[in-house]
Structure 1
Amino acid sequence: MKAMKKALYAWISKTFMDGCTSYNSLDVRKSCRSKEQARDAFATHDIPHARGDIFINPFRAIRFAKEHGFPLVVKPNVGGFSRGSFFPIKNYKELWKAILLAKVWWPTSVIEQYLEGRNYRVLVANGRVISVIRRYSPFVTGNGQSTISELIDRENNVREEMGLFPCIYPLNKSDEVKSFLGKHGYTLDSVPPDGVEVKLFHRIALAPGGVIETIKKNTVAADNIQLMEKVLDIFNANILGIDVILEKGIEHSYKDQKCILLEVNSRPYVKMHDYPRFGEREDLSGYFDELDKLDIAQADIF
């Protein structure tokens, strides 16, 4: 049975988790596996987080919406890469759609309050913050002359010239993108004014064409650094990818703004840190050399 578990985990890692680290023990990974576990740990240790609930029955999610209002986010209780996540949900029609689609990925789902703000992934390892990136949903910036379709082509050319593929994905002109644009008064033939950012999709993830920006660690507020390192200690982890939204930005203390820690990733996708669309690429190899020296308990078992 143990050999079978190792073989299965090896297949999962190769197939679905290329670019993810494996520096945490089985016990640590189990403690981080679901969104509910993370939220409970945040609550116990006074870490700012969103109020939320776990549901199988959709009407439990509807009751949560009636009690707490919109905007909301619905996502699978177990998962990653923002698969099956829907946000910001602003009405009951969108909520019902998200409830049904999230269950394609996992039978139990999470509903949480959603904060409109700046989305970050903070990589913490060996007791300290080693990298901070800001994540963007797919977008183009108008120049007053080009259509959105032309701007998409131009941006994809830039990404190709920068060597971002295949870690970062190209923008696309799918029916989902056309529908999203339509809801905001645009088509692919629209010409946005100079300097105006036009979002192409709601998900802040790489697969639909999202990108990242490297944030210099010396610009991050000291309170925020301490908070992230505290989270690493709470889970007794060697490395975590911590997802956080801050209303004003990570350069301001979380104490002076609305702040929500979303989840922790015990096998964070670190490959994306090497492919920023904005900011400078960081050399994190020294940190991983340190982690490679660790003796990880049951690292090859799911």
Structure 2
Amino acid sequence: MAKFNTIQLLRTTFLRGPSVWTYRPVLEVWLDLGELEDYPSNKIPGLNERLTTWLPDLIEHTCGVGERGGFIQRLEGGTWMGHVMEHVIIELLNLAGMPAEFGQTREISKRGVYRMVFRCPEEAVARVALEHGHQLLMAAINDEPYDIKPAVHAIKTAINDRYLGPSTGCIVDAASERRIPHIRLNDGNLVQLGYGAAQRRIWTAESDQTSAIAEGIAQDKDFTKRLLTACGVPVPEGQIVASPEEAWEVAQEIGFPVTVKPSDGNHARGVTLELSKEADIKAAFALALPEGSDVIVEKFIDGVEHRLLVVGDKVVAATKGETVSVYGNGKATLRELVAVLNEDPRRGPEQEYPLDWIKLDAGAVKLELNRQHVTPDSVIAQGQSVLLQRNGNMAIDCLDDVHPDVAYYAVLAAKIVGLDIAGMDMILKDVSQPMQGQGAILEVNAGPGLLMHLKPTSGAPRPVGMAIADHLFPREDGAGAGRIPVVGIVGTQNNAFIARLVGWLLQLSGKLTGVASDEGMFLSNRQTQKTNTANWAGAHRLLTNRLAQAAVIQTTSRSILEEGLAYDRCLVGVVTDMQGFESLPDHDVLEAGQMRRVMRTQIDVVLDEGAGVLNADLPEVADLAELCDGEVVLYTTQAENEAVAAHRANTEAQHEGGRAVLIKGNNVVLATGAQERVLGTLDALSLPGGKKPDTSALLAAIATAWALDITPDLIGAGIKTFEYNA
């Protein structure tokens, strides 16, 4: 069989927000199939068999058929290679552990060229998936050997490198479930939840409400213990030591057995338990020293390790630990027994695994083996147990067993230290019994890991992400939690003026307002940036500004096509016109009718409780009303506009009839159904100095302000005081 030339990737664009395709980030790829335009999937011998052999779970893709096996039907019936590549990439992402779920492929006006998109939150991951999906498809087309494992591994590596860790991720997922928007602020785990002044920031399980002083206290374990002791919280007796010799002396004073650990370490690193021998205590000092600034020797308390997660005033999750041992069979070495143990699917090196691999060269493990007089190459007798780890394995859910008294002391300890989110390490003989006399608090941890509660080795996973999201954004805040009023404006007709006037009216209504427009960035009507900010970057800067209590954002059709919107939803979306297709041939927008698909993006993102503001003088704009999830407010310079008359008479959509802003004679009228209120004459509604703005732009701004529930009196007064210099 003759070899086909490779499919050409002409252009790749990562759309970071809502776009013409979907509400979420996607990678858009322009493909030139070349000669393969004449060879759909049913005309290439063996192609479908190779694809389904390498990717058997393609059977699960419903595609447009809407049922299991739908995509296979399309393959067998004949579909083009752009569509096939879309599904190959989606399946590779699925195999790497990141369900992609969404993709589309559409032919453009040039024969053989397609736009293919697939959903992926991270651009770097999307590009790796595209690279390997492209290679796999060409290998299948040309009947060449292909090993899928390296492809999946490469995508999985990109995911591990770029995606949020499990602790941060579960909080972000919970916030998204509550429709609270998020913005990733760096390549790590610093994330903003919410917009502007309504935002909260998280970094793993720490929040911007976490006190830096409290975090410093928690890191100093010795000082934490002294604080807790002063408040009546049971803790083990202990002392900071400066040398192995002092560690041995203190251990003798405290009484055996003892625990040796770093004073400010984490994740149980450098912690050695139940020590009685001088050599072991000195060796444990050496293990603890690199993990913290000081070393503590403290009384060993018999019992089971527990981790209780405190969020606010409540214990929301609890796990307990278990020691890790292997049992000999008289044939295998300890190294071989541990290799089998590490095959447990719950163990792994990445954060997604609740348990770590057991490493025989780790210091704490070596110490345990020395105490039992075995080495990694020792053959372990039949039935003999070898203890490998005593601590750090708290992954058995036990929340339902926690006694109220134990929970009380956990919450009390968090409050004494000053943490709003804390992981409480406790030693307890029985978590279902009162605390006193049978346990103690070992450590208070700021920024605790959440994976053990999300993926316990046994027991129920706990919704800890939602508990933290609810703590940061109380439920009583309602559907608008984390949101400020966001106004999005798209079109070409005096939109910068509209944005700035709306921003001024919002400012007068009592909200410190930011405006991103092609005339620059403004905050409280003061220009902070002179360059064009009617784009994703400008809007992003505004939404991350903690001062902004409201945001007015101008955008363009090109920005929607090349970047997507910077916000997930808006309270008010404004479309002034659908002009500008002539400047977009590079996006295959070749006629005016194609602009509807672009401009509807602004109306698609209007919140249910929000409003779409549309120019009824242009029928193609007024027709977008059917796409709006919220209320619709029309504006027109024509008193007898038919679309406005029908809208005002529509008592099904709005109980009193639709709202509109219109001109009657020389008056600007606010109409709700049959009711009308004169805002003022066009002559009176002029800017300072008698400057008269464009009538249509003025009506758009008035309609937007009215949709934001700004009172008519304030709107009228605000227009007359708006100092506008373009």
TM-score (normalised: structure 2): 0.34
Q: Which residue of 1 aligns with 2:278?
A: 92
Larger radius of gyration: 2
State the Cα deviation string for residues 245-302 of structure 1 (Å, max 9, x = none): 11x2211222252x1211100111112322222222222232021234389xxxxxxx
Residue 206 of structure 2 is aligned to residue 22 of structure 1: yes
State the secondary structure of the residue aligned to 1:110.
Answer: strand
The CA distance in 2 between the partners of 1:29 and 1:44, in whole Å, is: 19
- In structure 2, runs of 5+ residues without a counterpart are 1-185, 191-201, 475-481, 483-726
State the Cα deviation string for residues 158-177 of structure 1 (Å, max 9, x = none): 32599995442223454865
Residue 395 of structure 2 is aligned to residue 212 of structure 1: yes
The CA distance in 2 between the partners of 1:212 and 1:262, in whole Å, is: 17
Q: Which residue of 1 aligns with 2:470?
A: 290
> Do 1:19 and 1:269's aligned partners in 2 also have CA atoms closer than 8 Å?
no
> Do 2:354 and 2:395's aligned partners in 1 also have CA atoms closer than 8 Å?
no
Which of the residues 402, 410, 420 maps onto 1:238? 420
State the Cα deviation string for residues 15-68 of structure 1 (Å, max 9, x = none): xxx984112121221222211121111111111111111122444433322212
Which of the residues 255, 275, 294 maps onto 1:108? 294
RMSD: 3.4
The change in CA–CA distance for 1:221 and 1:167 in structure 2 (over 3 A counts) is closer
State the secondary structure of the residue aligned to 2:281.
Answer: helix
The change in CA–CA distance for 1:12 and 1:19 in structure 2 (over 3 A counts) is closer
> Do 2:330 and 2:380's aligned partners in 1 also have CA atoms closer than 8 Å?
no
State the secondary structure of the residue aligned to 2:296.
Answer: strand
State the Cα deviation string for residues 133-180 of structure 1 (Å, max 9, x = none): 01234334x597985666544443332599995442223454865774
1:93 Cα deviation after fit: 1.2
Which of the residues 55, 58, 64 maps onto 2:241? 55
State the secondary structure of the residue aligned to 1:200.
Answer: strand
Alignment of 1:168-179 (within 5 A): 168-174=355-361, 177=365
1:242 Cα deviation after fit: 0.6
Amino acid paired to 2:406: N
The CA distance in 2 between the partners of 1:146 and 1:132, in whole Å, is: 39
State the secondary structure of the residue aligned to 2:260.
Answer: strand
> Do 1:19 and 1:271's aligned partners in 2 also have CA atoms closer than 8 Å?
no
Amino acid paired to 1:270: L
Q: Which residue of 1 aligns with 2:320?
A: 134
1:121 Cα deviation after fit: 0.6
Q: Which residue of 1 aligns with 2:455?
A: 275
State the Cα deviation string for residues 47-96 of structure 1 (Å, max 9, x = none): 11111111224444333222122111122212111222222221111112
> Do 1:122 and 1:243's aligned partners in 2 also have CA atoms closer than 8 Å?
yes
Amino acid paired to 2:423: G
The CA distance in 2 between the partners of 1:287 and 1:238, in whole Å, is: 12
State the secondary structure of the residue aligned to 1:237.
Answer: coil
> Do 1:159 and 1:165's aligned partners in 2 also have CA atoms closer than 8 Å?
no
The change in CA–CA distance for 1:83 and 1:180 in structure 2 (over 3 A counts) is closer
The change in CA–CA distance for 1:175 and 1:237 in structure 2 (over 3 A counts) is closer
The CA distance in 2 between the partners of 1:42 and 1:249, in whole Å, is: 21
Q: Which residue of 2 aligns with 1:201?
A: 389
Q: Which residue of 2 aligns with 1:266?
A: 446
The CA distance in 1 between the partners of 2:246 and 2:339, in whole Å, is: 43
State the secondary structure of the residue aligned to 1:74.
Answer: strand
The change in CA–CA distance for 1:149 and 1:164 in structure 2 (over 3 A counts) is farther
State the Cα deviation string for residues 165-198 of structure 1 (Å, max 9, x = none): 54422234548657744643667632553xx864
Q: Which residue of 2 aligns with 1:46?
A: 232
The change in CA–CA distance for 1:36 and 1:272 in structure 2 (over 3 A counts) is same
- Structure number with higher relative contact order (C-alpha < 8 Å, ≥ 6 residues apart): 1
Matched residue count: 272
Q: Which residue of 1 aligns with 2:306?
A: 120
The change in CA–CA distance for 1:189 and 1:121 in structure 2 (over 3 A counts) is same
Amino acid paired to 2:206: S
Alignment of 1:160-171 (within 5 A): 166-171=353-358
Amino acid paired to 2:397: T
> Do 2:352 and 2:451's aligned partners in 1 also have CA atoms closer than 8 Å?
no
> Do 2:354 and 2:456's aligned partners in 1 also have CA atoms closer than 8 Å?
no
Amino acid paired to 1:244: M
> Do 1:124 and 1:130's aligned partners in 2 also have CA atoms closer than 8 Å?
yes
Amino acid paired to 1:136: E
Q: Which residue of 2 aligns with 1:255?
A: 436
> Do 1:168 and 1:275's aligned partners in 2 also have CA atoms closer than 8 Å?
no
The CA distance in 1 between the partners of 2:294 and 2:419, in whole Å, is: 26
The CA distance in 2 between the partners of 1:60 and 1:175, in whole Å, is: 24
1:224 Cα deviation after fit: 0.9
Which of the residues 65, 81, 84 maps onto 2:267? 81
State the secondary structure of the residue aligned to 2:321.
Answer: strand
Alignment of 1:174-189 (within 5 A): 174=361, 177=365, 180-181=368-369, 183-184=371-372, 189=379
State the secondary structure of the residue aligned to 1:189.
Answer: coil
The CA distance in 1 between the partners of 2:243 and 2:361, in whole Å, is: 32
The CA distance in 2 between the partners of 1:263 and 1:211, in whole Å, is: 14
The CA distance in 2 between the partners of 1:60 and 1:213, in whole Å, is: 36
The CA distance in 1 between the partners of 2:236 and 2:447, in whole Å, is: 22
Amino acid paired to 1:190: I
Residue 338 of structure 2 is aligned to residue 156 of structure 1: no
The CA distance in 2 between the partners of 1:277 and 1:64, in whole Å, is: 37
The CA distance in 2 between the partners of 1:288 and 1:113, in whole Å, is: 34
- In structure 1, runs of 5+ residues without a counterpart are 1-9, 296-302
The CA distance in 1 between the partners of 2:235 and 2:388, in whole Å, is: 28
> Do 1:19 and 1:270's aligned partners in 2 also have CA atoms closer than 8 Å?
no
The change in CA–CA distance for 1:170 and 1:66 in structure 2 (over 3 A counts) is closer
